């Protein structure tokens, strides 16, 4: 929590399009919540170039003290050859782990005006409103050993370790059940939590399914629970996405399913996310998209995912639902009026798009 009474938001613009979209989110924040204390800090490749570290101890300490952290994106080809521990992506994983934000909430919501831009036929996504709850601080991203070794026969061998404990599964599953309880979807096929794993081939999948079912029996029998193998869920997401309410998945499957869900909503430039831990700690907010090196510096990036991540900051960490509602409505209205960046077939620059949102706040 912040030392002073003012709520604090730490902005980590990062690399590529990160600074472009974060500065637009900042302008929106200044308009809807001028009293919050906003600061910026270097993070990712830009920090590595300056300090030799993609996440310095100083920036981590500031993040831990903030009420919320809003990230742009990190990474890019110029850092792909850096040692793994020094890569921008490693800093992102370290930040998630250090803040212990184990529940990554990724809404895949199709704004009415964007249904024609979905990769799917319009009738399949009209009114689409899915939330993906992705486990974020364990699984194959963090399991040990994680290494490439030289074998005596001249070959190399790579190992990643997928590992989950009971408590790691239960705490993220609880977030999914709580969310589903507040999002009643009568008539929807998988109306509560759809838990995805590969229990047919993975022991972590077996434990995942058992622990989710056990927690459900203990505390959430009023919420519908369905299990689906993650590959089948990927298929169902493009076959009949409106059958789904809340998806619960581990770190890797959740990563993949959320990029897939992004394309149902029109563009990955639309998808925000919130990463939350136990109450009291800061939330970490970031667009689902990356640093988009192919369009960086050209003013082409869609700022909506960053602006909607700010909406989640207001709603989840700063407890300002009115500010969140204002942002959400302004985005909806701007899109309804035809405002579009290039990823949605439009001509607006990043700044022009956020101007359209700003004037509707």
Summarize as ranges the residues that interact with ligand IPM (CB under 6 A): 75, 89, 92, 255, 288, 290
Instruction: Report the residue closest to ligand NAD, judged by CB.
Output: 290
Please identify, using beta-carbon distances, which residue of 140 and 207 lies nearer to ligand NAD. 140
- For residues 303 and 20, the answer to whether their CB atoms sit within 8 Å is yes
Would residue 220 show up in a list of annotated catalytic residues for this protein? no
Q: Which is nearer to ligand IPM, 89 or 260 (CB)?
A: 89
3-state secondary structure of 213: helix
Q: Which of the residues 15, 48, 117, 198 is marked catalytic? A: 198
Q: Which of residues 235-274 bind Mn ion (CB under 5 A)?
A: 255
- Residue number of the CB closest to Mn ion reads 255
As to burial, measured by CB atoms within 10 angstroms (0-12 exposed, 13-18 middle, 19+ buried), residue 138 is buried
| Annotated catalytic residue 222 | no
State which of positions 79-108 bind Mn ion (CB under 5 A). none
Report in angstroms how near the CB of residue 287 gets to ligand NAD at its nearest.
6
Is position 75 an interface residue for ligand NAD (rule: CB under 6 A)?
yes
Interface with ligand NAD (CB under 6 A), residue from 289, 320, 326, 340: 289
User: Catalytic: 231?
Assistant: yes
179 phi/psi in degrees, rounded to 5: -60, -45
Examine residue 89 and tell whether it contacts ligand NAD (CB under 6 A): yes
Q: By CB under 6 A, tell whether 290 contacts ligand NAD.
A: yes
37 given a catalytic annotation: no
Nearer to Mn ion by Cβ, of 255 and 286: the residue is 255
HEC string of 339-361 equals: CCEHHHCCCECHHHHHHHHHCCC
198 tagged catalytic? yes
CB atoms within 10 A of CB 195: 29
**87-103 burial: b if 16+ Cβ within 10 Å, else e:** bbbbbbbebbeebbbbb
Tally of helices (H runs) and strands (E runs) in the chain: 12, 12
Interface positions, 238-277, toward ligand NAD (CB under 6 A): 268-269
Which of 276, 279, 192 has the alpha carbon at shortest distance from 227? Answer: 192
List, by residue number, the catalytic residues: 141, 198, 231, 255, 259
Residues of this chain that bind Mn ion (CB under 5 A): 255
């Amino acid at each position: 929590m912040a030392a002073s009474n003012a709520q604090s938001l730490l902005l980590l613009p990062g690399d590529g399009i990160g600074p472009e979209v974060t500065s637009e989110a900042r302008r929106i924040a200044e308009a809807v919540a001028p009293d919050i204390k906003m600061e910026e800090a270097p993070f990712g490749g830009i920090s590595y170039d300056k300090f030799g570290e993609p996440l310095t101890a100083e920036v981590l300490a500031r993040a831990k003290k903030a009420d919320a952290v809003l990230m742009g994106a990190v990474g890019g080809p110029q850092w792909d050859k850096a040692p793994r521990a020094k890569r921008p992506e490693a800093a992102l994983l370290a930040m998630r782990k250090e803040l212990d934000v184990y529940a990554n909430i990724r809404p895949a919501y199709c704004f009415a005006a964007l249904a024609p831009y979905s990769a799917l036929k319009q009738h399949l996504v009209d009114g689409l409103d899915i939330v993906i709850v992705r486990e974020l601080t364990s699984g194959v991203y963090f399991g040990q050993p994680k290494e490439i070794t030289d074998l005596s026969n001249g070959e190399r061998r790579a190992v990643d370790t997928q590992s989950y404990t009971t408590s790691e599964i239960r705490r993220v599953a609880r977030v999914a059940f709580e969310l589903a309880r507040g999002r009643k979807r009568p008539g929807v096929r998988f109306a509560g939590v759809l838990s995805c794993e590969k229990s047919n081939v993975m022991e972590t999948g077996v434990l995942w399914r058992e622990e989710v079912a056990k927690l459900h029996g203990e505390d959430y029998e009023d919420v519908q629970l369905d299990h689906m193998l993650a590959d089948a869920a990927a298929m169902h997401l493009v076959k009949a996405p409106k059958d789904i309410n809340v998806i619960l998945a581990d770190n890797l499957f959740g990563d993949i399913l959320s990029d897939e869900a992004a394309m149902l909503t029109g563009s990955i430039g639309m998808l925000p996310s919130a990463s939350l831990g136990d109450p009291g700690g800061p939330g970490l907010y970031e667009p689902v998209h990356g640093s988009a090196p192919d369009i960086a510096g050209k003013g082409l990036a869609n700022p909506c995912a960053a602006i909607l991540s700010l909406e989640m900051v207001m709603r989840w960490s700063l407890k300002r639902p009115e500010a969140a509602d204002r942002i959400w409505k302004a985005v909806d209205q701007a899109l309804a009026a035809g405002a579009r960046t290039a990823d949605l077939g439009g001509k607006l620059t990043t700044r022009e798009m956020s101007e359209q949102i700003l004037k509707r706040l």
